[in-house]
């Protein structure tokens, strides 16, 4: 694993106020829209290109994500392409909030589990149940796990997941 400089949130805050840092958020647009660190610029990891990072002048570039995993991957990408980055926020936006530093949050930002998260949780639970029941009673219970896997595979190819319709009707928020 590559060593990454983790910078404490309080140090980042001071650096942002003093104009020493340019903060880049590598989370996805929906996450950024819901809540963000003031002054951060969005550069989602899903389409991240180190060469396309905004020019920061004499400010050092610092990356952040939700907890540090995605920003660590972005740091690896920057290093591989020779793009200089000072480091990333220790603990991401979760660490930032744990340090009691402010964020900007949309008034109508949804809370709770997304439909995609609910489908993944349900599928994981059903597969675990099918394994448990097949060990305790009969291997025929593995058909349940196979059915869940088939549903997810079908959803990945067609873009439609029957379970997502159910969770949408239950009031889960779109992903």
DSSP 174: P
Cβ(90)–Cβ(9) below 8 Å: yes
Per-residue pLDDT band at 125 (split at 50, 70, 90): very high
pLDDT the model gives residue 101: 95
H helices present in 41-161, as ranges: 69-80, 92-98, 115-136, 142-158
Tell me the two tokens of residue 110: 């949804």
Scanning the structure block, which residue is given the tokens 């349940």? Answer: 144
Whether the per-residue pLDDT at 45 is higher than 80: the answer is yes
3-state secondary structure of 76: helix
pTM of the model: 0.65
Phi then psi for residue 153, to 5 deg, are: -65, -45
The 10 Å Cβ neighbour count of residue 64 is 30
Cβ(126)–Cβ(145) below 8 Å: yes
pLDDT the model gives residue 115: 83
Q: What is the residue-wise DSSP string for 6-73?
A: EE-HHHHHHHHHHT-EEEEE-S-HHHHHHEE-TT-EE--GGG--GGGSPP-TTSEEEEE-SSSHHHHH
Percentage of residues of the chain with pLDDT beyond 70: 95
Whether the per-residue pLDDT at 2 is higher than 60: the answer is no
pLDDT the model gives residue 109: 62
pLDDT the model gives residue 110: 60
Mean pLDDT computed over every residue of the chain: 90
Per-residue pLDDT band at 1 (split at 50, 70, 90): very low
Closest CA to 2 of 80, 91, 93: 80
Q: What gap in Å lies between CA 102 and CA 150, rounded to an integer?
A: 44
**Per residue in 4-25, pLDDT tens?**
799 999 999 999 999 999 999 9
pLDDT the model gives residue 175: 64
Dihedral sign, Cα of residue 132, residue 134, residue 138, residue 143: positive
For residue 114, list its beta bridge partners: 173
**Per residue in 58-112, pLDDT tens?**
899 999 999 999 999 999 999 999 999 999 999 999 999 999 999 998 776 666 7
């Amino acid at each position: 694993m590559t060593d990454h400089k983790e910078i404490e949130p309080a140090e980042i805050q001071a650096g942002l106020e003093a104009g020493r840092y340019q903060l880049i958020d590598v989370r996805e647009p929906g996450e950024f829209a819901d809540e963000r660190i003031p002054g951060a610029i969005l550069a989602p990891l899903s389409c991240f290109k180190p060469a396309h990072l905004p020019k920061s002048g004499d400010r050092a570039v610092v990356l952040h994500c939700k907890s540090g995993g995605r920003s660590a991957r972005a740091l690896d990408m920057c290093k591989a392409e020779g793009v200089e980055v000072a480091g990333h926020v220790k603990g991401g936006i979760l660490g930032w909030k744990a340090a009691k530093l402010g964020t900007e949050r949309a008034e109508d930002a949804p809370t709770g589990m997304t439909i995609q998260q609910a489908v993944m949780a349900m599928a994981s639970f059903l597969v675990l149940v099918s394994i448990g029941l097949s060990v305790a009673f009969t291997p025929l219970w593995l058909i349940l796990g196979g059915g869940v896997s088939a549903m997810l595979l079908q959803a990945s190819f067609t873009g439609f997941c029957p379970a997502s319709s159910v969770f949408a009707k239950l009031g889960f928020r779109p992903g």
